[in-house]
Amino acid sequence: MIQRIQTVYLVLAAIVSAGLNFVFHLWITMDNVIVFAVDVIYILAGFLISALLSLAAIFSFKNRKSQFMMGRLNIILNFILLGFFVYQSLNLSGETKVSEKGIGMFIPIISIVLLALANKAIKKDEDLVKSVDRLR
């Protein structure tokens, strides 16, 4: 059933992962160069894989277990992106690369929250189906 609430959460997570990284910058260097996710290819790849996993989870609505596992895998990927951003902004000594942090570093947090809400709704649907199967 594609009209469920988890579809809304997964679509929002895909929009956040695929669209907002082009709008908000990640950081500004010492030379006042604004760095977007497009400028760093592996960050862009991480965001696009996250968006594709969200879209794949939407269209696997008939298999709730695989949908749930795609959501978990997507959450792990966003935690990896978030960990990279924390490493990038805190581990560099002084003003070597990152001079000012941007709002784009918080995109994985928004995506994680939306994916967790989607997984909660998927789990609720799975429990409902299991309870109905017990009655048969």
What are the tens digits of pLDDT across the range 57-116? Answer: 999 988 889 999 999 999 999 999 999 888 877 765 555 555 677 788 889 999 999 999
Angle (CA) 132 9 40, round 5°: 140
**Size of the chain, expressed as the number of residues it contains:** 136
- Position 94 scores a pLDDT of 57
pLDDT band at 40 (very low <50, low <70, confident <90, very high): confident
- Position 77 scores a pLDDT of 95
Give the count of alpha carbons within 13 A of 80, CB side only: 13
- Residue 16's identity, in one-letter code, is V
19: Cβ–Cβ under 8 A, 6 or more apart, which residues?
A: none
pLDDT averaged over every residue in the chain: 86
